[in-house]
Amino acid sequence: MATATTATTAKSTGPVVVTKPQQDDREYRYVELPNKLAVLLISDPEQDKSAAAMDVNVGHLRDPDDFPGLAHFCEHLLFMGTEKYPNENAYMQYLSAHSGYSNAFTAVEHTNYYFEVGSDHLEGALDRFAQFFIAPLFNPDGTDRELHAVDSENKKNLQQDGWRLYQLQKDLSHPDHPFRKFGTGSLVTLKEQPEAKGLDIREALLKFHGEYYSANLMKLTIAGKESLDQLETWAHQMFAAVPNKNAPIPDVPATPHPLTPTELGFAVHVIPVQSIRSVELLFPFPSFADRYHSHPEGYLSHLLGHESEGSILSYLKQKDWALSLSAGNGSGGRNFDFFKITISLTEEGLLHVHDVATIVFQYIAMLRKEGPQQWVHEEVRRLSAMNFRFQEKSRVSNYVSQIAGSMHLFAPQDILSGHYLMEVYDPEAISQGLTALDPANFRMTITAKELLTDGANTADDDAEIDEDDAKAAAAAKKPAHPLTEGHDDIEWKTAQVYGTQYRIIPFSSDFVKKVKKARPIDALHLPKANPFIAENFDIELQRGVPHNKMLLLEDTKLLRTWYWPDVVFKVPKVVIEMRLQVPQLGVSPRQHVEISIWLAMIRDLLSDEAYFAETAGLNYSFQAPDLDRLMIRVTGYNDRATVFLQQLLARIKTATLESESKFDNIREGIKRGLVSAKARMPMNHAQNAMAQLLSERSWTVDECLDVIDTITLQDMHAMPQTMLSQLFIETFVAGNMDAFKAQAVARNAAQVFRATPLSALSRGTRLRTVMPHPTELVLYEQPVPLADENNSAVLTHFVLGDLADDQTRALARLLNQVAVEPCFSTLRTQEQLGYIVGSMLARRTNYIAFGIAVQSERDPMFVQWRISVFLNKLYKTVKAWAPPQYADFLRHRSALVSQLREKDKNLAEASGKYSAAITGGTYFFDELEVDATNVNALTARQLMLLMERTLGVGEPKDGTVLYPTQIAVHLRSQKLAEKEESWGPEAQAWIKEFRTGASLVTEDTVGQFRASHFLGPQPRPRVPLSEYDYEPQEGQVPATDASKTKPKL
């Protein structure tokens, strides 16, 4: 049930009633300033973070033809100083010093800026933020540097198939439609090409900003703890000066659509970077932006994307042709849209891709024959209303960002509800959407490495190979895929921006006739009613139960059950987690792969029930995240959560797979995932390499690929029963469930599995961490696996000390707080080393480390040197923090304390902290509060001494050089050709010393490294677990909170 809040606009045009969720205790007011800037104000006295967002109704569709990416570049430049605050880091420094951060993004028709900050500092943040839209500097020096930042962002995406396929969709759109434009931008499009034409980027930037950055095209959202009146006063004071140029809304006309008949009626064959095998059916689709009260596109995506018996996906799985399917509209603009049906194919499915497409049209034919069904709409309406009614609070910066964008789409009263509620049944609009899904009006994109032919380029085309290698390659060459036969005369093309290899294959006349004649078949039909939709939303008040603390309901040889009753958020939801510790999980690459296959098998067998549950707001996962235990997680509305959990547990216990072809498809899907992992970003590989070095048990992609083809269906029959015969089940239940039910959840699992307990020595143990030697410098070097990747990566960790030591942990948190903003501004903004730059804390089982990550086109060793220079500069800053500069230290310390004491915003966030303490084995449930207290007592001198001791900075004391314990991971691009001689003598001297002192490790010697180092001890519980013991008493029965009981949806 939704409620409403009433307000009056600043122009006194009458009351605006903003519909809000029943759970929402915030106050809202919609106003319009004299300059026509629309503002939504949100007052929440309880929030400890405040935020604001500005959404400008212009995106990259309005980029000038000579400057692709200009809207995105303008977004970057607004952060680089204003007339009132000319220091280009003034905004970021202010936010960082007050527990805040900011971000922005550019879309097809919108540019969105947002920030959050400690709730006591909203006024100062708003003043700085407002200047972005009043008087930005567009400083020429910053302009040139930020061009490189945009270019680096673009290069980060060059080997990402999602970006490549999206741009290819744009490339193949109507040549006169602005949807074709390349939105990210690069040095080529924003500097080199314009300069060759005698054009100036800064002039174009000023013209673009002057034309589109007008108050009447902007929507502002402000959320603070202050009253609505105070927030409105600030809005007037700070944003009334945003110039209103009465700019026309830059809408793209509804016609022509980006997909006219010329852009339809063919298949696009695409060679991916990763091991993807898919087909996408793309349709031009009407924009239903003005019919958001009925959401006809939601009705269609609900049915076409369904996964239960009778659906497209279910039928394709029966034929062993598909692994997954998604359907829905998106990526269009206000007046045009697209509808996509994307299917992940098996090897056999690729061979039958035209039959797959025909089945899609047979299902669409069934929908046309059945006509719009009011009961289907009613089910979707109930689900949407339920999710809106019980919408919990989220991160405030994300919330205001989403709202600011929604203000362009919905009437003021529907700003919060427009994406959710679909109270109007509109069969005419549903039929209109169905009509658009026409077999005469689509194109297919088929993406697979199997489509590779001699005419397509690969990463190794330019490599030199000897005659023997050439003969061997020719002998091993697979025959052409049937989909490529008869198309030798059609040339492969290279997409301009991303270098994507593709070719266009016209539909055959036989295929066109087949899809046009598609008729309903018995195997395809509407889904049954969803059995998992919640009906009971009562809130159970736990009388006599200790509130807001973890309780240990049971601790035996087989079971340990944790319980956190929710008395804070009071939503009818629950979080249930079960950690199943089994003996010797994932002890070899083979067993690791077997478990991955088994988990995928369970998910496949449960797909019907799981899809209904997910649609009804019940989500689940079943994984082996840490190679030491299985993890079952069910979250959502408690009314049906235990019913679904029971079905999941039964599947885990009894599931068997008899179909050899189904097994082959699941195994092949796991294999393709492993192969695709090699094409991930360099920083992902650096993170994996760090885990390889320091984990007691970890296997490489190649080790898993070496064994996966040897695993058979017969192997899978015996493995689960053996594995689950001995268990230790650690359960955590949080939310709207009484203690007796929570205890019953765990005991029921024990009854299902009927396992014997693990031995006392094994019970509750965790995988341990490889401990670097004191003052050891470890250098891990490895080439980036993807030959075409321009970027390298550096991930370096400095060991700070024992994770269990309160003082060390507090100092570590303070070090990262102090380092975050200058790390980004120095290494990314000023030195332009790369787009992905940041500092972080890394928690291992036994120690905590400070880390810096940089993904860069520069040589990893050069980046490592610049990290060292930065750390020395940061050390000097900290050392200089004496009066009056000591105030800077106090601001950072205060910001960190506020951050550690930030209130949980929803059940998932609250339960997540407790879950992490269970996973880590420390059971340190009040760590954040303990750390906040300790941080508040720290001094700048203590921080300085920590940096001297652990980062290798500062001047030697009495001739004694302090060496840090450091692990540096370098992933080096295969395309790198940078010469050390160009870096100068200072860099060369530092690098020589670094290499001399380092213990070099490669992918081949990781095992030797781990064998030569001790494993750290098992984590210790912070206090004896018996201190959390709690036994429910018979008199402590739950009582219904009548104030929360509402009529059915």
Catalytically active residues, by annotation: 75
Three-class secondary structure of residue 427 per DSSP = helix
Side-chain half-sphere CA neighbours of 531 within 13 A: 8
Three-class secondary structure of residue 950 per DSSP = helix
Q: Which two tokens stand for residue 1034?
A: 């018979």
Beta 777-783 vs 966-972: how paired, if at all? parallel
Q: Which two tokens stand for residue 54?
A: 């500005």
* Torsion angle defined by CA atoms of residues 250, 254, 259 and 265, in that order, rounded to the nearest 10 degrees: 180
Q: Which long-range contacts (CB under 8 A, 24 or more apart) does 409-412 make?
A: 409/289, 409/292, 409/334, 410/292, 412/16, 412/18, 412/30, 412/38, 412/40
What number of other Cβ atoms are within 10 A of residue 480's Cβ?
16
The helix/strand count (H/E) of the chain reads as 34, 30
> Residues of 105-141 as b/e, b for ≥16 C-beta within 10 angstroms?
ebbbbbbbbbbbbbbebbbebbbbbbbbbbebbbbee
Phi-psi region for residue 874, left (φ > 0), alpha (ψ -120 to 50) or beta? alpha
d(CA 89, CA 911): 36
d(CA 704, CA 688): 14
Q: Which of 920, 921, 911 is nearest to 732 (CA)?
A: 911
d(CA 181, CA 69): 8
Three-class secondary structure of residue 43 per DSSP = strand
d(CA 365, CA 919): 50
Q: Which two tokens stand for residue 40?
A: 């939504």
What number of other Cβ atoms are within 10 A of residue 927's Cβ?
18
Beta 38-43 vs 15-21: how paired, if at all? unpaired
Do 969 and 842 touch, CB atoms closer than 8 A?
A: no
Do 713 and 657 touch, CB atoms closer than 8 A?
A: yes
